[in-house]
Amino acid sequence: MLSTSLISLISMGMLGAVLAGGLVVASKKFAVETDPKVDEIEEVLPGANCGACGYAGCRAFAEAAAGEKAPVDGCPVGGSKVAALVAKILGMEPVEGANRKVAQVLCKGGHAEAKLFAEWNGPRDCRIAQSTQNGSFKGCSYGCLGLGTCVEACPFDAMYMDDNGLPVVIEEKCTGCGMCVRACPRDIIVLAEEPQGVHIRCRSLALGKDVRGVCSVGCIACRRCEKECPVDAITVEDNLARIDYDKCINCRKCVAVCPVNTIEYQEGKPVLKKRRAS
C-alpha cells in the first residue's frame, strides 16, 4: 500500500487540479470586458466619490466620460487640471477652465443672534427636523437649523460647526462639489465663484419687522444696499436683498450701509475686480 505522505500528495494534488480547472473554466465564462481608458481616467480623478458630477462616484463618471456621455470638464472638484488630463486620455483638446467655486453659508443667525422657540431633542439631522416639524423649533423659518447635516455631507472635511451653531466653510479645502448645497433642506448654502468676497448672509422672505422679532442680523429689506450699489448688483425682492454675483465688483459699499450687519465682506479678496462681460 502506498505510504500516507504519497497518498496525501496525490489526493491534494488532484483536488487542487480539479478545483483550479473549474476556476479556469469559470473565469472564461464570467469574463468581464473593461475598457482600459476607464481605468486610466479613474486614476486621474480626485477619487472622493462625492457625486458632484452627477454620476454615482468617480468610477461611474470615468465610464461615462470614456463612453463620451459626460463632458471632459464634468468634474467640478478636479477643475481645469483634471479636465485637461481626461481630455488628453481621450485624445481630445483640453477645455478652458472657470474659476473655482466655494460654498457660502447665507445665514448669520446662530444661538447668539437668532431666537429658538424650543429645544430640539430629535435626531441630529436638519432634513429630519425640517421634514417632520418644518424646523419650527427655530424662530426664523428660513434660518440655519444648526444640526450639522451639511458638515456631515462634506466629503472633503471642509466644514465644521462653530460654537454659535452655524456651519463654517474652510475655504482652502472647499472644492465646490456642492454636496452641502444639496444637503441643506432650507437652501441656505450657495456656491459662489471666486473671488466673490461680498455676501448677504440671510435668506429670510419674512417682513422686516417679523425678521427683527426672531433674529438680530436678518435682512429687513430696508433697500439701503440697493440704493448704494454703484453697479446695481443688488435687488430687493420678496423682502430679501440679493446680490447678482456676476455684477458685483467687491467694492464693499453695501457692507458699510447695512444697518443690521447682514452683509459681510471676506478679508483677503481683491477689492475691485473686473466686471464680467454679460
Positions touching another protein (CB under 8 A) are 4, 7-8, 11-12, 15-16, 19-20, 22-23, 26-27, 30-32, 59, 123-125, 128
Can you tell me the distance from the alpha carbon of 215 to that of 261, in angstroms, rounded to the nearest whole number?
12
C-beta of 6 vs 112, nearer to another protein: 6
State in angstroms the smallest separation of the CB of 124 from another protein.
6
Q: Which is nearer to another protein, 145 or 206 (CB)?
A: 145
Q: Given the complex with another protein, which of 20 and 112 has the nearer CB atom?
A: 20
Q: Report helix, strand or coil for 191.
A: strand
81 backbone dihedrals φ, ψ, rounded to 5°? -60, -50
Distance (Å, rounded) from C-alpha 90 to C-alpha 95? 13
φ, ψ of residue 263 to 5 degrees: the values are -85, 135
Which residues lie across from 116 on neighbouring strands?
A: 138
Write the single-letter amino acid at 172.
Answer: E
269 Cβ neighbours under 8 A, 6+ residues apart: 195, 196, 197, 250
Least Å distance, CB 56 to another protein, is 8
Query: 69: which residues sit within 8 A by CB, 6+ positions away?
Result: none
Q: Closest CB to another protein among 26 and 207?
A: 26
Closest to another protein by CB, 22 vs 67, is 22
Q: Which grid cell is 219?
A: 435682512
